[in-house]
Structure 1
């Protein structure tokens, strides 16, 4: 019951609703698909329906397109896990049904985008013809026009956006059957964090205990990806804002589950902030000196500069430093820039 109230769970429930018998047009492609598992065909129909209605679904319409697509990718991943229940990577990569479903996902998305272009083109052509005919009637009757309706539509200028308004949602190739478990867990945690925090009260002791177990599960995954996502690159499933650090939430949930004051200040907070500050500075120094150039040799390094304004404690200094960043396969300078 505690998890049913979380935003991410409500969205996945909506995506996973059964197909209504009256809805046939939106799931016609899947009817002709040859699949070994009967559940696969039912799931294919849900994929097609959800791709078509993704931007208008009640629980998703207020989300950004990027968030809608991430939710959709993680929902697909989780449902495939449930249907096929594989134990190894090969169980999924060699599964014919999974490969067919992914191919069908692409074809459905491609069809939606092409259909959108055709529909918008017809609207523009129709609007152009009406406007052009009105102009011809206003001037041609007086001038004995011989049927010349002005410039054809091909001689007018249009933006790509005039013809393509559909935002596609394609399969995220980074979402492998191992990495995607962690990605989904983190993404859902960041989306559910505020709801969990707002549930913390003396009256919700039993819920706090459940949420404490959940956040305890998230904590090592959060730490595992923090450095790579926040220092070396951008991860669309990770939020680097310090407010989402599980430690503070765990402290409050623990107090709540034990009937203690949920508003008390975590005594380890200041210490952990100081440790975090100096630990980051030391890491920057270590990265720089390890990567320093050999004497009498010329070379290059890639740097990223980092500045953080301390907003939690005015007595703590701000962070400002640069550090060497990794580049895959040690590319040549001209291949990167």
Structure 2
């Protein structure tokens, strides 16, 4: 799952777009000329990224206008460059030594810009203990907290995002716990900024559980089922509570399926028992009572071929006589022995 679906559209997250805009003039590439041959050995995109790196560092105050504090602008810059480096080289360069070597080239470009006092009091943060994968986690945490109000508004009103949110929140909580261990309690070289980064050590409000309203798709389902308008409105106001792992919702769904299955099972079982009760009763009546004789007579009667000239009254008399005999002689077997 891409976490950008929760961040796109946020004004704070769009600040990264300003840093990604191409440098049409190429005037800042002069700070990267000495590194061009080195970058070309790894990726053709690195030299272009170096040009953006130089431009953004020098023009940082104008590129990140949405942030008044220079410290925040510098954080944006460092998260941006490390994120771009990871995207450019992660697929082709797996060796950590080579990755650090490339990052060192950018550090040297930074020192060249700093020597001209053009760095806007912002430093490129490099520490081999904080690799690009860890930088990515710090950036994800930073973006989540920075854009929390935007994310919350999306989750509350978008039911589809609401279903995906628990896994996103679970990931952020894991990163946050790692952040507390590295940046809050001890002096660690794995904390993202050498100047300190303890802003969120005692802040956990952003880890709160959110609620989200179901979309109109739910109400439309009830419309097709013939529900009245009142019940639709009541359904539309329903809310679903989401936690970090969605266990409650899965449990509710599974129990509902179980109840339905059991209901069907007992219905079928009742029909089976009723049939088994009726069958022996019918067999007894058919085999041992006048009801059985009557049924057999009725069935056999249809197999008799009636001759066209036969007297109907005679046939009726025979039928009545046969029925009388069956009624009064049923159940008796009399054997006559002449003396």
**TM-score of the pair, normalised by structure 2:** 0.51
Structure 2 residue 125 is matched with structure 1 residue 185: no
Q: How far apart, in 1, do the equivalents of 2:182 and 2:123 lie?
A: 25
Q: How far apart, in 1, do the equivalents of 2:122 and 2:175 lie?
A: 30
Equivalent position to 1:26, from 11, 28, 37 = 28
Equivalent position to 2:107, from 102, 106, 109 = 102
- Please name the residue that 1:38 is paired with: 44
Q: How far apart, in 1, do the equivalents of 2:118 and 2:124 lie?
A: 11
Max radius of gyration: which structure? 2
Give how far 1:73 is off.
0.9
Equivalent position to 1:14, from 2, 5, 18 = 18
1:8-63 superposed Cα distances (whole Å, 9 cap, x missing partner): 5312222111122xx24333222453332221110011001101110112x44524
Structure 2 gaps of 5+ residues are 219-235, 244-339
- Please name the residue that 1:261 is paired with: 239
- Give the 3-state SS of the residue equivalent to 1:242 in structure 2: coil
1:267-290 superposed Cα distances (whole Å, 9 cap, x missing partner): xxxxxxxxxxxxxxxxxxxxxxxx
RMSD: 3.3
Contact kept, 8 Å, 2:155 with 2:165, in 1: the verdict is no
Q: How far apart, in 2, do the equivalents of 1:111 and 1:209 lie?
A: 51
Contact kept, 8 Å, 1:48 with 1:108, in 2: the verdict is yes
Contact kept, 8 Å, 1:19 with 1:45, in 2: the verdict is yes
Q: How far apart, in 2, do the equivalents of 1:8 and 1:31 lie?
A: 33
From the superposition, tell whether residues 9 and 61 of structure 1 become closer, same or farther in structure 2 (CA, over 3 Å): closer
1:246-303 superposed Cα distances (whole Å, 9 cap, x missing partner): 2x1xx315676998537x899xxxxxxxxxxxxxxxxxxxxxxxxxxxxxxxxxxxxx
- Give the 3-state SS of the residue equivalent to 2:158 in structure 1: helix
Give how far 1:88 is off.
4.3
1:150-177 superposed Cα distances (whole Å, 9 cap, x missing partner): xxxxxxxxxxxxxxxx423332436433
- Give the 3-state SS of the residue equivalent to 1:19 in structure 2: coil
Give how far 1:242 is off.
3.5
Give how far 1:219 is off.
1.4
